[in-house]
Structure 1
């Protein structure tokens, strides 16, 4: 792509957003929308290693990475008021191209990993100069903030605020169906095994039997994609199979459903969720789904493909990880205690809502920089 292919620079404030991985892109689009609603005229030029299929907001002009082959030409054409570097390793050529201009530079999602991946040559010779170019650095954690200070970023320019990620939408609950199921359950305590692997069923049943000794009328809901019911044959417990039309009665100890499409209902009903597959292969559920609906989480070591989300929950002590099936009964018993359950669920909610606070900080930062630019 050559400069002749670029549209003219529009009037008003222009932000260059470099977002290599798209992480946080939707959140930035929502921030821009709120600024526009407040009367600010903004255009965002988005560059990324791979562009999204469509612009996340009408104010975005998407430019492929080839547009940055000559970064000085790119910057001269667009003359951005603000650069937002949203994650990923720094590219010195892009940053230094801004030097002749008065562009304010923000490093968002500045993590230890992204900092350390800046090209080695720059680290040896000019790293302090490179990091000093940022007017605002929003670090993901304390170790990252420490490294930024060590690499020359003025401490007054650094704020440790966490990770700006895209908001996690809570699964939609069918309130009518939820009310009907709730009527059948009445006040019974409940826990959920969501889409377990067949190799996990035996230990799930053992965990339920053990937990039931201390929790009167405890009900286990198993929402599964595997239609094999033979693994329940020798459980010695009263099992209702939704596929056979069995109702949930007072005698029912386990309710087996194939209703994965009603995921949100089961998660809302169950204060405890064991994430199936995580003890045998890989997680079959995004852990932010139960977290968004107030269900405390138990899982095994198989966290792919949601590894980063599990890590964020673990770092906040907002989930219970077990390493082997034999640990499941004790974990269920612990989380049946209302205070422990509520504390873990609350911490998980804080993790998934963290992005809202970070987005607010980012919005305030942009508002201030734009106001200062207008007054200059």
Structure 2
């Protein structure tokens, strides 16, 4: 019987999973996802090396029932594996968690307190932990954090121009997408050793989007800050905005805070600019001038902030694209690079995102002795 690690990424309407053998190679055993939870959910899963197949699903109205479907599917497979532990992607680790941790009650209470800083992600990430605990209380559960990769930023890169009293109360820049950037660092170390010693801007471009300035594989700077709202325009999030505009929405327009939060997180970005969609495929295929404007705006802002990251690094050896847009939208990559053509020559490449693989590596590195 082979020991196995379940890696979970629980979103607002989805549960994505990968199952890895707890061997030296972290062999991938299976994977799949439940999507559209609560609104006509669907489930696809498959063993490693096989195409995912649709799985019968008798309703998945919440994360509990979705988690049950995943566990039932795993139990039904004929392979001789023993599920020993689970690792969860958790977006915000705050100041306390700068490496993966065992998720006891104290850890969960602290992570719950960070939910206002990542309202689109944190509550759902933690719902996955609770759903699994209810069904498999004997399984050890660990959290892996998107903020951890950036935890060693210097003061020049983790401060806002605010008084110390606010910094001491947690108003600071954390950065996100760290699991994606950690995987990029791993891939550069093993497959591009020359770049691994250089100055690289990694561009995680998807429905959530950010940049990371990496020097010798360490995060020096990043575009997201205290929350996952800062930085680049995204699928439905605004990115950088004058803080005074938010004050005006409250005092001048009389908008409730909840409405402002919804507008900035759910109705802005590519969706807000185009008035059509946050999906880049849809926008690229559209003849609507607003679709083209939204894409032009996105490409320009990405290029501008890549240049800013190059300043943080003191140079630029390569740009690495990853994420759904970064990997698949070649016209946008071309447009972004065209904006940067004035810079001294630099390389560019695409590396497929693999946050689940990164999480498995982190658990192996930090907890192998207690699991095996």
Taking structure 2 as the reference length, what is the TM-score of the superposition? Answer: 0.29
Higher strand fraction (1 or 2):
2
Larger Rg belongs to? 1
TM, length-normalised to structure 1: 0.29
